[in-house]
Amino acid sequence: MKKYLLIVLLISFLISGCKKSDNPDYSSLIPGTWVNTRVADQEVLTDASFVMELRSDKVEVYSVGYKLDVNNKTWIENDKYSYSVKGNSIIFNGVGAFGGNFHIEFKILSVDELSLTFSVSKFLIDNVEYPDLKIYSCKRITADLRSQVVGTWYGKSTTPGSTDNGYHYWEYFADGHFNYYFQDGSGQWSSKQDNAGHYFLYGDLLVTNYTNDLLTGISGKAFECWNISIIGSTMVWTALRDNGQITTFRMDKVAGPPATH
């Protein structure tokens, strides 16, 4: 009789264990801010990263850069999505940054305190399905560099062979806007009056919106994404660009912006 009871208990344990494995509960691990790092097992271009803030109130803030037309691109945060977690699925519903009703389902392949990997089970815009077979990997944002970024920074590109050889000043404010200063041909410092600079910070991912790129001469809206590190009073920017090149800047925190004319 005891042997029979042990067998019944063992079978019951195995069945309950299988049920738990087949129906995982990821709801406590999903909330947080996630930055895309890899797509289809390839490191994502830094400017092509996206950010998902999955808030505890079941609102998703989805942030990504958009190409508006040939001369304009901008980074947009959109909080018009809701999400739910059911088993190993994350389900999103909402309105896109430029309209359209979205219904998206992610299948969680793995998730822990630091990383999330998923595939796209369903992607519909206005009930039209757009298949996506790629696998996406994201890292959870754990660092908060906002207070360290605020201030004035002076530095230059450290990318070998860069055509941007001059020094620059960037002045970051706590409200999310920034000023940019450049040195003209006569050596005088100027504040870029048409910069319209605004920045976003997601852990170590710094995103800047601005207008009228001085280096390329292209008029219109623009954005850039950088992975940053700050050690003491030194900040380093690093980015993987579409030519496969690693672009870097190094700068030091200084007392204030330059005197301008």
- Verify that 47 and 128 share a domain, yes or no: yes
- Verify that 46 and 136 share a domain, yes or no: yes
| pLDDT tens, position by position, 162-220 | 989 899 999 999 999 999 999 988 889 999 999 999 999 999 999 999 999 887 778 99
Residue 227 above 50 pLDDT?
A: yes
* Position 1 in a domain: no
* Position 12 in a domain: no
At residue 184, the pLDDT reads 87
- Verify that 38 and 135 share a domain, yes or no: yes
| pLDDT tens, position by position, 20-42 | 456 688 999 999 999 999 999 99
Percent residues over pLDDT 70 in the chain: 91
* Position 96 in a domain: yes
Q: What is the CATH number of the domain that holds 130?
A: 2.40.128.20
* Position 13 in a domain: no
* Domain closes at, from 101, 119, 140: 140
pTM above 0.85, yes or no: yes
Count of C-beta atoms within a 10 Å radius of residue 193: 9
**Which H or E element spans position 15?**
helix 2-22
Strands (E), 40-150: 42-43, 50-54, 59-69, 72-86, 89-95, 101-111, 115-125, 128-129, 135-140
Residue 105 above 70 pLDDT?
A: yes
- Verify that 58 and 134 share a domain, yes or no: yes
Q: What is the average pLDDT value for the chain, to the nearest integer? A: 92
- Verify that 206 and 244 share a domain, yes or no: yes
Residue 12 above 70 pLDDT?
A: no
List Cβ neighbours of 190 (8 Å cut-off, separation of 6 or more). 181, 182, 183, 184, 260, 261
Percent residues over pLDDT 90 in the chain: 84
Enter the DSSP assignment of 45.
Answer: P
Tokens of 28: 């406590």
At residue 217, the pLDDT reads 79
How many domains does one find in the chain?
A: 2
- Verify that 61 and 112 share a domain, yes or no: yes
Q: What is the CATH number of the domain that holds 250?
A: 2.40.128.490
* Domain closes at, from 140, 155, 186: 140
- Verify that 130 and 165 share a domain, yes or no: no
At residue 2, the pLDDT reads 46
At residue 241, the pLDDT reads 95
* Position 9 in a domain: no
- Verify that 107 and 160 share a domain, yes or no: no
At residue 10, the pLDDT reads 45
- Verify that 185 and 128 share a domain, yes or no: no
| pLDDT tens, position by position, 118-169 | 999 999 999 999 999 999 999 999 999 999 999 999 999 999 999 898 999 9
- Verify that 53 and 131 share a domain, yes or no: yes
Domain that holds residue 203: 146-254
